[in-house]
Structure formats: C-alpha cells, structure tokens
Amino acid sequence: MANRSHHNAGHRGMNALRKRGGVHSSEKLVEKTDSRRTRHCVVTADCLDFLANIPDASVQLIVCDPPYNIQLAHWDVHADYLAWAAKWLAEAERVLAPTGSLALFGGLQYQAEAGSGDLLTLIHYLRRHSSMLLANLIVWNYPNGMSAHRFFANRHEEIAWFGKTSKYYFDLDSVREPYDEATKAAYRKDKRLRPESVEKGRNPTNVWQMPRLNGNSKERVGHPTQKPREVIQRLVRALSYPGSVVLDFFAGSCVTTRVAIEEGRHSIACDAEAVAQEYLKKQLAMTNAATVEVSDSLGSDHPVFGRASEAAAISGAGVGAAPNP
Ligand SMILES: C[S@@+](CC[C@H](N)C(=O)[O-])C[C@H]1O[C@@H](n2cnc3c(N)ncnc32)[C@H](O)[C@@H]1O
C-alpha cells in the first residue's frame, strides 16, 4: 500500500500553499513578541493546586513528564493512578491555547512494572475523554541505557504530542536538520526539489536519536530522571513561539525553565519537592542568561494572565476543539 503521508490531501495542500509562499492558518493565529524580556517562575507546589491558578487557554506548550507509579521515589506511588492523572490531564487541556500542544513523556512499561500507569494508559484515556489530537508519537531513541536478561534492553521512550485543536502551532523550519554539503550538492541537481527546501534541511522525523544523560553528564543537576536539554529544546522550538508561555507542572530538574529562558519564551513551572529550587539555581548558572530572574511564586503580572484574552479572540475566529479521528 502507498505511504499515505505522501498522498494525503493535507500534505499536498501544504505543498501547494508553500509553493505560493503561503503559511498554514495556525501561523496567523499567533502573535510572536519581543523575546528578550521574558518572565519565569518555579513554584514549590502540588500540580493541581498550581494549575487551579492558571487561566483557561493561556499556555502554548506543556512539557509534561509525570510520575508513572513505578515506585521510583516517594512521589511515584499512587493508589489510583488514573484517577489522579485524569485530574491534571483535564487541567492541562483547559489551560492550553487553541494553538497549543501537550508533550507527554513516558514509556510503555514492562507489565510487571507498569502497575496502574504508563504512557499507553494515558493515551488510551485521552482518546476517550479528550478532544485533543494525537499529532505524533515521538520515539526518543538513545544509545545508552540499562542491560536486561528477560527482554530486549530498552533503548527508547516515547513523547506523545497532542495538539489542543487542529490549529496547533508547528514551526518545522526551526528544527530542521541541515543536509551535509555532499547531499546538498546532489539535491541541488534534482529539479523536483525546491532549492529553498534543500537549504532548509530535512524534517527530523518522529524518531529522535539523542543520548540520555549519563551519570557524569555536565548537564546533570541531581534530579534522578532529568531529561536532556536537547530533547526539550526541540519541543520548545517547534511547538511554541517567541513570547508565548511554556508550562511544566512536574518540573523536576527545571530543565524546561532553562530552555524557555534560552529560547525567549515565558515560562511557569512547579514541583512538589522544594529541592527543585536548588536544581533551578544550578540550571541558571549554566545558561548564558544567568541574570534572568526566576520568581518562586506566580505573580498576577505574569504574561500567562494576559494570554487568555488573546486566545478568546482566536476562538472567536472560529477555532474550536476538533473531534478525534
Ligand atoms: C519524572 S520527574 C520530572 C523530571 C523532569 N522532566 C526533568 O527533566 O528533570 C517527575 C517530577 O514530578 C514531581 N511531582 C510528583 N508528584 C507531583 C505533584 N503532585 N505535583 C507536582 N510535582 C510532582 C516529582 O517531584 C518529580 O520531580
């Protein structure tokens, strides 16, 4: 059977639009602003208490790397995991702007480990109880990891990317992978390819080969499940835009805050453990924007409180939640 991704009407439509120099309608719904002065906070709080303060439709991207009930730490034990997760998933959908996205990290756990929760559980739940759209299941493939004897040693995790509506924002150009010179030279001779596309590089696909952090990685700040900056950076670049708000309510090592600062996005974050504030200090010391202030409370003057009115204007422009296919 032919590969549908190359023949579907949406793909052909986008190609035709780009040839005419046009942009996807989702691009017209966002307002990119001066990203040199951004605002950030990391609050020590339970995620549900924190989320309750955030206005509807005010956040562009949620980076969400939840506990999965695999007894990794005391915060990773839930008697009814799905009942708990359902609460923050509903809140996540509520606070996302119509152009927004949820990037949900996780794995498909070995059954004995899975207990009552893994990424499959959450995807299945969202398909039934949410109108968000699964845009991609990103496979994060890493060369380093634990060995195993009773199954193939695991070398991937998944990131389920949900768009709040079909108008989700996606900046592919910001994350393209450049071709090497030899490939570019060959492609320039191929008359079917547009020279601008050859210069821009390739779509990085939904398989991301990026190492996990080793114990002695320079990026490490002490959190046991810290994600690499490179992974978060690709999400922030592609799924949010300068001046928009990025939220991480399981902040852990505060790597999302670091990336938001570096990429000119506003950010809000929380973690139930106060030690996150210590991790944050280490993250800030590693950025070239070490002078940026990060508050430990969410002030009413944070830009997240100005975004809801923008989003309401967008909804007025006819963007509703699309039903799941
Ligand atoms: C998997 S870790 C996140 C790691 C993070 N993505 C990183 O790269 O460092 C999950 C985090 O959620 C926090 N956490 C667990 N339950 C929480 C809750 N109810 N509210 C807020 N944070 C919570 C834990 O303290 C932990 O730091």
Residue 266 lies in a domain: yes
Atom of ligand 1 nearest to the CA of 252: 27
Tokens representing 246 are 């990025």
Is 69 a pocket residue for ligand 1 (Cβ < 6 Å)? Answer: no
Is 106 a pocket residue for ligand 1 (Cβ < 6 Å)? Answer: no
Asked if residue 40 lies in contact with residue 293, where contact means CB atoms within 8 angstroms, the answer is yes
Residue 104, SS3?
strand
SS3 percent helix, strand, coil of the chain, rounded to 5, is 35, 15, 45
Residue 10 lies in a domain: no
Tokens representing 309 are 């009115």
Under DSSP, the state recorded for 31 is: -
Which residue type sits at 271? D
Residue 119 lies in a domain: yes
Q: Which residues contact 163 (CB under 8 A, 6 or more apart)?
A: 100, 101, 132, 133, 135
**What pLDDT is recorded for position 278?**
98
For the ranges 3-12, 86-95, 211-220, which has the lowest average pLDDT?
Answer: 3-12
Which amino acid residue places its CA nearest to atom 6 of ligand 1? Answer: 65
**CATH number for the domain harbouring residue 72:** 3.40.50.150
Residue 6 pLDDT exceeds 80: no
Residue 147 lies in a domain: yes
Cβ neighbours, 10 Å, residue 250: 21
Distance from the CA of 132 to the center of ligand 1, in angstroms? Answer: 23
Q: What is the Cα–Cα distance from 102 to 85, expressed in whole angstroms?
A: 14
More confident residue, 316 or 204: 204
For the ranges 114-123, 144-153, 164-173, 221-230, which has the lowest average pLDDT?
Answer: 114-123
* 195: Cα within 13 Å, side-chain hemisphere: 2
Residue 189 lies in a domain: no
Mean residue pLDDT across the chain: 87
Distance from the CA of 313 to the center of ligand 1, in angstroms? Answer: 33
**What pLDDT is recorded for position 305?**
96
Tokens representing 117 are 């929760």
**What pLDDT is recorded for position 312?**
54
**What pLDDT is recorded for position 149?**
93
Q: What is the dihedral of CA 238, 241, 246, 252, to 10 degrees?
A: 40
CA-based nearest residue to 99, from 321, 248, 324:
321
Residue 86 pLDDT exceeds 80: yes
Is 235 a pocket residue for ligand 1 (Cβ < 6 Å)? Answer: no
What confidence category does residue 81 fall into, taking pLDDT thresholds of 50, 70 and 90?
confident
Atom of ligand 1 nearest to the CA of 253: 9
**What pLDDT is recorded for position 317?**
46
Residue 187 lies in a domain: no
Is 250 a pocket residue for ligand 1 (Cβ < 6 Å)? Answer: yes
Atom of ligand 1 nearest to the CA of 105: 6
**What pLDDT is recorded for position 123?**
96
Residue 87 lies in a domain: yes
- Total count of domains within the chain: 1
Residue 4 lies in a domain: no
Q: Which domain holds residue 94?
A: 36-169+206-316
Is 271 a pocket residue for ligand 1 (Cβ < 6 Å)? Answer: yes
Mean pLDDT for the stretch of residues 177-190 = 92
